[in-house]
Amino acid sequence: MRFVLVGMFALSLLKGCDVKQLRPEEVSAAFQKELRPYFLNAQAVAIPEQHTILGVTCIEGAGPALRAEAKTVLDSNEDLKSLQLSNALGPLVGNNVYRYAAVGFDTGIVALDVDTWQTVDLDPWEGYDAAYRTVCGLQPRTDVSSAVETGPALWLGHFTVTLAKPINGRRQIPLIDSLGLYESTEFQTHRAAELKVREQMIREDLTAHNMEAITIHLDSVERVTVPANMLPH
């Protein structure tokens, strides 16, 4: 499914037919479908008054590596280029203009300006964190000032998955998954077992989305600091 049905616009205009207006929920559903191969729990919402389509990843404690990954996802998505034509023709048939396609983390947002095809980093605004956690079904944050630099940390694996069948012309896709909560020394002991379990879980998740993985390659591991009040006692 194309992200925006440009062919529908063009064909309908040429035939002089009434063009179906795209409702915000249709736009958000299409964007969510685009994000799910990369961020399996992503939720999307269209915000017409801000000319924005926002997809929240529902990942906690995202670092620079994850935000860089989001830029790659946005920059390389050919279907998003359909928005340029949609924005030009949309107002003629009563559709909203969506200038920004954004990927949100709890630590900030990466937004693609569809007109200039440039990505920018945006800091969370007041109320964003609460909205993010509500949409994702996460527990409210009670104290973020007690994050610790040492002690247990969340370990994230960055993987490249080679698919049996390409999606949007791409046979390889990036994925991020948790490798558990460990002290640094403990993680080295449990790393191999965690990778084996996560690889199986990734395969099962992809199968549930009608995708088959041929290979799953670990590219890097990221350590994410966890607030002290969220650590198990």
Rounded to two decimals, what is the model's pTM? 0.53
Strands (E), the chain: 43-47, 52-56, 100-105, 108-113, 118-122, 153-167, 170-182, 213-225
When mean pLDDT is compared across 16-20, 38-42, 164-168, 207-211, the lowest value belongs to 16-20
Q: How far apart are CA 13 and CA 203, in angstroms?
A: 43
Q: How many CB atoms lie within 10 A of CB 50?
A: 12
Q: Which amino acid is at 187?
A: F
- When pLDDT is cut at 50, 70 and 90, the band that residue 169 belongs to is confident
What residues contact residue 158 under an 8 Å CB cut-off, 6+ apart?
65, 69, 174, 175, 176, 218, 219, 220, 221, 222
Q: Name the one residue in this structure whose structure tokens are 């404690």.
A: 61
The side-by-side arrangement of strands in the sheet containing 108-113 is: 43-47, 52-56, 100-105, 108-113, 118-122
Q: Which amino acid is at 162?
A: T
Q: How far apart are CA 206 and CA 80, in angstroms?
A: 23
- When pLDDT is cut at 50, 70 and 90, the band that residue 111 belongs to is very high
Quote the mean pLDDT of the chain. Answer: 77
Q: How far apart are CA 217 and CA 91, in angstroms?
A: 44
Q: What is the pLDDT of residues 170-208, one digit of tens each?
A: 888 888 888 988 887 788 888 888 988 999 999 998 899
- When pLDDT is cut at 50, 70 and 90, the band that residue 4 belongs to is very low
Q: What is the pLDDT of residues 209-233, one digit of tens each?
A: 898 988 888 878 888 876 655 555 5
Domain range summary for the chain, segments of one domain joined by +: 6-136, 153-230
Q: Name the one residue in this structure whose structure tokens are 């650590």.
A: 231
Residue 13 has pLDDT above 70, yes or no: no
Rounded mean pLDDT of 26-46? 86
Angle between the 6-15 and 82-89 helix axes, to the nearest 10 degrees? 40
